[in-house]
Amino acid sequence: MNHSTHLVTVTAQTFQSLVIEGSYERPVLVDFWADWCAPCRMLMPVLAKLAEEYGGRFLLAKVNTEEEQALAVESGIRSLPTVQLFVSGRVVDQFMGALPEAQIREFLDRHLPRPSDGLLTRAQDLMAAGDLAGAQSLIEQTRAEDPNNVRLPLADLQLTVARGELAAALAQIDALPIELANDAEVLALRGRLRFASAVEDAPSEPDLMARLEVDPGDSRSRYQLAAHRVLRGDYAAALEELLELMKRDRAFEEDAARKGILAVFDLLGGSGDLVARYRAKMMNALY
């Protein structure tokens, strides 16, 4: 089985290339194990069998924690076996212990690409092009062909947002399955909906700026101005306004400024120079 193209042994020297970089090409399931661990020995053949059955939809990477203790510590491993799933360079989910095969299949199916995902990708492209009827048709085709595709609720939500149906979108995002709650796209959409709601009946940017010229302590106007700037993609200016609001009025709408900053970080994917810079500024302002 070790000769399988779907299974590799990983060391500290190869973790970056095989797991982190490799997970941009296909998901990588990392099994942290040890010889003395009986549940590890029970789990190994199940994972190897699934790696073969799934035919390359994921790579199974095995880490012997007795030989790679530093790597295990760096990965936050506290019990064995621990199995982490990497997608696009980061851990998206994990489980501990020797789960039954059916539960592991369910775990994998939540995250692995499915043939019907191509239809949903095309639907997203149509939404971006403004063809909402075409997007809906592809979503319904996906629902008919693969009703268990876990990304269908997200596609429905994206279509509702594209239609501008704000109240319905807010209800849909709160009803999403738990496995989608921390999805990067969902976090970004949640942030965008937060700001869209803030400007629904708000004055224009020039009017808000004029109000702040007269009264710099007008918290609502400053928050609405930041929301306008988020929605047109001027994230640096939006973060500056939210940071200023956080400094001036932490109590505004139950710490809305700090929560807004975190929502912008989600929109930016949680990393990058702008996120790092304003995360540091936010921490300095807090402490």
Give me the active site residues, please. Answer: 37, 40
Handedness of CA 155, 265, 257, 210 (dihedral sign): negative
Which residues does 97 contact at the CB level (< 8 Å), separation at least 6? 39, 79, 81
Give dist(CA 201, CA 227) in Å, integer: 12
